[in-house]
Chains A and B, each alone.
Chain A
Amino acid sequence: LAKTTQPISMDSYEGQEVNITCSHNNIATNDYITWYQQFPSQGPRFIIQGYKTKVTNEVASLFIPADRKSSTLSLPRVSLSDTAVYYCLVGDIGAAGNKLTFGGGTRVLVKP
């Protein structure tokens, strides 16, 4: 499994863009990159998934450089409700017995 490294915490202000970078130097050819969001007292929630280049949905964008050794989750114009822990996972979709495990995540605090 590819090991991931994220910043422990980040502070931001309402209306700003938040970018969280995850390092995964030993990512394998078949690995995808998936980001989850977790609010206090809740289970994590899927945000976005990608393999290469850029992926965008209604919530976030995911930027993946050509070497795929890192990825950046971008949250546009954050609000107070975006305060949460964000996890980066890297693994092979569909692999038998695949175990995608969570690291410590990045705690994002959005201030007024």
Chain B
Amino acid sequence: NAGVTQTPKFQVLKTGQSMTLQCAQDMNHNSMYWYRQDPGMGLRLIYYSASEGTTDKGEVPNGYNVSRLNKREFSLRLESAAPSQTSVYFCASISTRDTQYFGPGTRLTVL
């Protein structure tokens, strides 16, 4: 039982490059979220998925797209990375009691 896994752990991109952050959970949860956390700040919700096949925008969706591939996997895509997207990205899987289980994070630097 791995909980929530994220890949990659670290990534450096050049401005304009694209990449996909992967997230998977093995807890059979319906809801999954993507957050970003800038240095010294709280977490901000980018996108969420209340169930397989559905996605909705959170607080800061611009510049991102998501795919809920199946119940286990929820990916976040940056189509054209910008320095303002330098951040730590966390994926969370949410239980029926709204307890959030977080992955280890992906540290992204955009040059």
Contacts and interface: CB of A to CB of B under 8 A. Distances in A.
Interface of A: 32, 34, 36, 41-46, 49, 87, 91, 93-94, 96-105
Contact of B100 (A44, A97, A103, A104): A44
Interface in B86-109: 90, 92, 94, 96-105
B42 A97 contact: no
Interface stretch (B13-21, B44-52, B64-72, B76-84): B44-52
B102 A104 contact: no
Contacts of A41: 105
Given A101-B59, A103-B42, A105-B42, A43 B98 contact: no
A68 B100 CA distance: 22
Contacts of B102: 42-45
A101 B45 contact: yes
A36 B104 CA distance: 15
Given A43-B92, A99-B58, A34 B98 contact: yes
B42 A49 contact: no
B43 interface: yes
A44 B56 CA distance: 22
A23 to B, nearest CB: 16
